[in-house]
Amino acid sequence: MKDKIQEKFQTLFGEGGEVFASAGRINLIGEHTDYNGGYVFPGAIDKGIMAKIKLNGEKKVRAFSLDYDEYCEFGLNEEDKPEQAWARYIFGVCRETIKRGGKVEGFDTVFAGDVPLGAGLSSSAALESTFAYALNSLFNNNIDKFELARIGQSTEHNYCGVMCGIMDQFASIFGKAGSLIRLNCKTMEYKYFPFDPKGYKLVLIDSCVKHELASSAYNKRRASCENAAAAIRKNHPDVEFLSDAKRLWLEEVRDEIPEEDFLRAEYVIGEVQRVLDVCDALERGDYETVGEMMYQTHFGMSRLYEVSCEELDFLNKLARRCDVTGSRVMGGGFGGCTINLVKEELYDAFIKTAVEEFTAKFGHAPKVYDVVISDGARKVE
């Protein structure tokens, strides 16, 4: 990828320039907890976005996407927003940096990525983080890393129409090889935990399906959680988010809220605790407990939060049958991937069985992505 970027850059813009990169992410556990003020547990992965950038002394950006084989030119004022969706991410990062008092002037860039699109690995956050980090470095803006993550999040909100949480950009900026990051989405406190599962592999099985009800269902579940938190707050005023609540407090309001809201809240409260249990298990090197927590999360997402689907439930049950240590749906649900923690000696048989049986049942093969926990945003050379 780097060689292709260098070659295209030289053709378009000549010599010079610096190379920056950032990563996609996985989330080992802690799903649908971010907007409930709970913990998430992501890590950057060895797939991401890479860009070569050179200042051009003008007031415009000249950008080429290798993946889309498209060129785009735009200015740095609000009215200069480009038409191409991919270019808006770069434009948004420029604008959000400027809004924070950072210096941004014209530059030339060629970029490409190897994050599988549509697999829930946050290619957009990787793109935003690459350019946020690069502009901060090139213009010596001294913007701190938290704010670089927020620049990416604000780009999604203000220029791409996605009201996302902070987890994806946080993981892309703060990612560290061999470590996962426990982030408290209420306080933004974080801690690195070593993740070096010797004798195990981490692999994603991509169902290659995305069911349409994802966005409306997401909003509905968020409303259920807020309704349950409001009911609990009447008895326990300190409960700001559902993550602040105890399971017993939810039981107190069972008759006051719809059964659906109760189930959603039951999942979230359990999931917040599972993140903490997984962190404790990792510190002991206990990957069997980590795996069991992953299965519990899948059960909760399927039966209580109801964001799984037939394809993902099939992959999860198959993983259990193949003695996979841990497996669950990763991301918002209704399609996408399962994330699986597999003993190395079982890996080949599991992948073979999963591909064969999934293809036979659903008429198309799933995709398989091995992942390694890697560094986040950085200068490559």
DSSP 8-state symbol, 302: I
Question: Amino acid letter at 28?
Answer: L
The rounded distance, in Å, linking the Cα atoms of 211 and 6 is: 38
The rounded distance, in Å, linking the Cα atoms of 104 and 173 is: 19
Question: Which residue shows structure tokens 């049958």?
Answer: 321
* Options 168, 206, 244, 261, the catalytic residue: 168
- Active-site residue 168, yes or no? yes
The rounded distance, in Å, linking the Cα atoms of 277 and 299 is: 17
The rounded distance, in Å, linking the Cα atoms of 241 and 228 is: 10
Return phi, psi of residue 84, to 5°.
-65, 135
Extended strands (E) in the chain: 18-27, 39-40, 42-55, 60-65, 70-75, 107-113, 179-184, 190-194, 200-210, 326-330, 335-343, 367-371, 378-379
Quick one: angle between helices 145-155 and 167-174, nearest 10? 140
Helices (H), 14-120: 85-99
> What b-and-e string marks burial along 328-351, b requiring 16 or more CB atoms within 10 Å of the CB?
bbbbbbbbbbbbbbbbeebbeebb
DSSP 8-state symbol, 34: G
Q: Centre a 10 Å sphere on the Cβ of residue 66 and count the other Cβ atoms it contains.
A: 18
Catalytic residues: 168
